[in-house]
Chain A
């Protein structure tokens, strides 16, 4: 899948939606709940369910980064599945909240 910066993806098995902030260095498969995510505008495939070992959930506003590939995504809608890249779980970044300045 082409994970371009700014491209939007949704989970095939839960409510999770993400936006790509930084693309991976090479082609990779972004998954949620253990299944490849689908383009935001596309239809969800039927008959899939969340894999147990990918069910930790996502939270809106969190950023997720995979050091190995450089991929960074932002969760724009939370859900019950958790994110992985080529089967490897990717974790939430600890972002320090800054005071509003504008």
Chain B
């Protein structure tokens, strides 16, 4: 099935409902359909096999997704925040293509062989044109090419087919299930899987999409208030900063009904604070990957409330889980030899289902029987709640023992003096790796010795960091992913051992 069919259905059934933009001057579903067709005609004339998008969020982005879909060409949004040379290298990998580029970013890219540049303003003008007749039908194939963030090397291009994305949308969203007046605020960038899935699920569900050009917590709160936003998705680092603004202003978000979060580990103190500051809001934790067309497991609003109020420790800790797998896919925890692990035991998370692509331009990593190894470690509790421990590449192996940094980070975050923390392994001649912690302290915070005692009292001594570094801030990329490799390199150079005890 074609992603453009999702738009056609919405435009037929609710032509006059607002699809994009502000309440005053937004674009209706029939407008969006018309613009996508006109955009397709303009992009086709420019040639190329792929439609690249380099720019800020805004209505042009969803229009371009559907225009590319109509042409049967992959839509490839690139990270405009990359240094010029890296951006140009990614662009060269997508040739031959047409690239829609924000006007003020054109100068950064210069000339590139096989790439036809189209200024965003020119694309937007072209979308206003009237198109006569029907466009030729193109069999659906690749819908989206998404470059991974490249925190572990040269970015890989993940392939998402029309079949993966439509399967995800149709199985998780009710067609036009949104109530009139509902609006979602999209603040993840266009090159993030959640930015793509937000467009498709928003259109199919009939919910107006408001795009924030680029995230700042002030702009997010202002826009959510002005546009009476009812739904939004944020990454964990955004949520903490939004709560700071709300508490600072003494303001609430009376229209907000649901807030979902994902794309990284949510510190438990932050989500507990969010539940207190916004008691009327339904919180949803979504776990997913680019290679799985977004969400594969959800912790719903009821799960959040139950966990917050339960006297049962096993239920309470589910606030730190990503909920249960979607009913439309299979999920297993497997050990090092591929065996399925019993409840409560850690292993690698595997998923299988129609929304799972597991494919890159250079190789297919999904197994013949359809199972995709996520490279995430995790385990499931007795009620089927999934706990994600983080990337397996990040696991610390100390003297043969596998230590998950996430568990130690969680314990440290609960310390009242800790503002942020990252735990990682540094090379060690005796143990192979030793546990190291980079800590950002709150004003007047405590010394590493006290923190070491704190961890030792709650975990065991092998999991207590031996190396401590107090820092002003930790390095993150713009979508809130901790740059562990960079931190590791920096710490290997400067770290000092803690006091020997």
Contact = CB atoms under 8 A, between A and B. Distances in A.
A74 B175 contact: yes
Contact of A61 (B172, B176, B198, B298): B176
Contacts of B286: 101-102
B284 interface: yes
A5 B198 CA distance: 23
A40 B295 CA distance: 32
B327 A99 contact: no
A96 interface: yes
Given A60-B175, A77-B12, A101 B2 contact: no
A100 B13 contact: no
Given A19-B1, A61-B175, A100-B260, A74 B170 contact: yes
Contacts of B1: 5-6, 19, 21
**Which of A6, A8, A21, A102 counts the most chain B CB atoms within 10 A?**
A102
Contact of A102 (B176, B260, B282, B300): B260
Nearest to A20: B1
A97 interface: yes
Interface string A78-102: 0000000000000000011111111
Secondary structure dominating the interface of A: loop
Contact of B9 (A76, A97, A98): A76
Interface residues of A, number: 20
A95 B298 contact: no
Interface in A54-83: 60-61, 63, 74, 76-77
Contacts of B207: 100
A76 B29 CA distance: 15
Contacts of A61: 174-177
Interface in B180-202: 184, 194, 197-198, 201-202
A95 B262 CA distance: 24
Contacts of B258: 99-100
Contacts of A8: 5
Contacts of B411: none
B103 to A, nearest CB: 29
Interface string B204-216: 0101000000000
A101 B234 CA distance: 10
A78 B262 CA distance: 35
Contacts of A6: 1-2, 5, 140, 166
Contacts of A74: 170, 175
Interface string B250-265: 0000000010101000
Given A60-B13, A101-B286, A102-B198, A96 B260 contact: no
Most A Cβ at <10 Å: residue of B174, B231, B327: B174
19 contacts: A6-B2, A19-B1, A19-B9, A21-B1, A60-B13, A61-B176, A76-B12, A76-B175, A77-B13, A95-B174, A98-B298, A99-B260, A100-B184, A100-B201, A100-B207, A100-B260, A101-B172, A101-B295, A102-B198
Given A6-B140, A102-B194, 8 more contacts: A19-B1, A61-B177, A74-B175, A98-B326, A99-B301, A100-B207, A102-B202, A102-B286
